[in-house]
A and B are shown apart, each in its own frame.
Chain A
Amino acid sequence: MKVAIIKYNAGNVYSVYYALKRLGIEAELTDDKNILSTADKVIFPGVGEAQTTMQYLRTRQLDQLIQSLKQPVLGICLGMQLMCRHSEEGNAEGLNVFPTDVLLFKPNNNEKVPHMGWNTINPTDDPLMKGIQASDYVYFVHSYYVPMCPYTIAQTDYVQPFSAALHKDNFYATQFHPEKSGKIGEQILENFLNLQI
């Protein structure tokens, strides 16, 4: 199986590469459009700032490429947020794969922002969430969130219930970092690798 990780100016795209390697997959870290289009699975990782990253993707036409992908795609953290319509972070227009907006957490009970650390997810029976229980912890680091929407496949409560994961057609996304979430995260990455379209 060919797995491509989209290489861009974000920090720490390597952690996903290493996590796949621990699962026995040698992924290719690339911004080559041809390799990305023909891979069996594409991962769009992300740690970074929304607007700067979108500009980078646009100047390399990676934005159009991601939108056009037909194989299973997994956006992670900022990757997920950029796959949405618009982000309040830097007032950035996103890829609109998921027609929903990304908002800044507004604490109503002195919650800390960023939402940082291990929190539980409440999954639906989506194939990406196979084997995941409602009490399982995954690792989050983010200040912006995707509200609950028709594409939500896992929910987490912080300030209010929000989308911990999304799925629409061949596009999947997690707000948390499966590559940093120990055994539970490995299960989710394996589920993604096992997806058939």
Chain B
Amino acid sequence: MLAKRIIPCLDIKDGRTVKGINFINLREAGDPVELGQAYSEQGADELVYLDITASFEGRKTFTDLVKRVAAHISIPFTVGGGIHELNDVDRLLNAGADKVSINSSAIKNPQLIDEIAKHFGNQVCVVAIDAKQMPDGWKCFLNGGRVETDKELFSWAKEVSERGAGEILFTSMDHDGVKTGFANEALCQLSSMLSIPIIASGGAGTKEHFRDAFIKGKADAALAASVFHFGEIQISELKQYLCKEGIQIRL
């Protein structure tokens, strides 16, 4: 049976790992390749590296990092951040990334999803969606959660799926960094209405939160950062726990 995936996410700035609390106030958490290797040995199923550097120079540093990750790590990894056109995707895949994650550029230029899917296959294209529950429903945000858009979460998720996204990485901005659990209701709705895998992101604080994301949220994978980086939850222990809870897990 297909296993539910546990995915540590590493935010990278100038070649180092950082993690924001509610997308602001960055705090450093170590060497990205070493961290990735450690996670892989603990049983992480995939890794996500998000480049939050904006400069051209930083982008080159990130590409070099992708090469180092590919050279040292024998599990799949996704890279995101600063991907605006097909050439960026080509560059990162050629550096050794398995998938790319696009967010703001997908909202600004939805056609990019179609292009990535056509050139590299659907499975390469992860569309990340940052959304927040507003009085008039779930709204999608741009630029790391700084700019509100008129896109509604569920209709946008449906559109990216139809355009050829292979997976959706859904972050609830209200839950992100506050460690009170994932946005399970919205997750469940996404997972039930779409035929592509949904990765839950934002809100992991305890092992039970992961269980709930898989059972209540029907997520295919769960992503977290700080609980892993700061050793609050060990991936190996988390996977043992989930297995005991009857969830299909690769041990």
List chain A positions with a Cβ less than 8 A from chain B.
10-12, 14-15, 18-19, 21-22, 47-49, 52, 78, 107, 110, 112-120, 137, 139, 141-143, 157-158, 177, 179-183, 185-186
Contact = CB atoms under 8 A, between A and B. Distances in A.
A14 B96 contact: yes
Nearest to B74: A182
A19 B221 contact: no
Contacts of A14: 70, 94-96
Contact of A114 (B5, B72, B76, B166): B166
Given A47-B123, A107-B195, A118-B3, A19 B220 contact: no
Contact of A115 (B2, B45, B71, B96): B2
A17 to B, nearest CB: 9
28 contacts: A11-B93, A11-B94, A11-B120, A11-B121, A14-B70, A14-B94, A19-B74, A47-B93, A48-B119, A49-B117, A49-B119, A49-B121, A110-B195, A114-B166, A114-B167, A117-B4, A117-B46, A117-B221, A118-B5, A118-B45, A118-B250, A119-B2, A141-B166, A142-B123, A179-B74, A180-B75, A181-B74, A182-B74
The prevalent SS among residues of A at the interface is mixed
Chain A CB within 10 Å — which of B3, B46, B97, B121 has the most? B121
Nearest to A53: B121
B85 interface: no
B144 interface: no
Contacts of B89: 11
Contacts of B2: 115, 117-119, 158
B104 interface: no
B105 interface: no
A18 B166 contact: no
Contact of A113 (B5, B121, B196): B196
A113 B122 CA distance: 10
Interface string B81-100: 00000000110011111110
Chain A CB within 10 Å — which of B2, B5, B70, B118 has the most? B2
A44 to B, nearest CB: 16
B40 interface: yes
Contacts of B93: 11-12, 47
B124 interface: yes
Contacts of B220: 112, 116-117
B197 interface: yes
B1 interface: yes
B94 A112 contact: no
Nearest to B99: A141
Chain A CB within 10 Å — which of B2, B74, B195, B196 has the most? B74
A158 B3 CA distance: 11
Nearest to A14: B96
B122 A143 contact: yes
B99 to A, nearest CB: 8
A107 B3 CA distance: 17
Contacts of B40: 182
B77 to A, nearest CB: 9
Given A48-B121, A181-B74, A116 B197 contact: yes
A114 B196 contact: yes
Instruction: Please provide the 5 A-B residue pairs with the shortest distance between their CB atoms, ordered closest to farther.
Output: A11-B93, A137-B250, A141-B123, A118-B250, A11-B120
Interface in B88-140: 89-90, 93-99, 117-124
A22 B123 CA distance: 25
A11 B117 CA distance: 12
A52 B120 CA distance: 9
A169 to B, nearest CB: 28
Contacts of A180: 74-76, 98
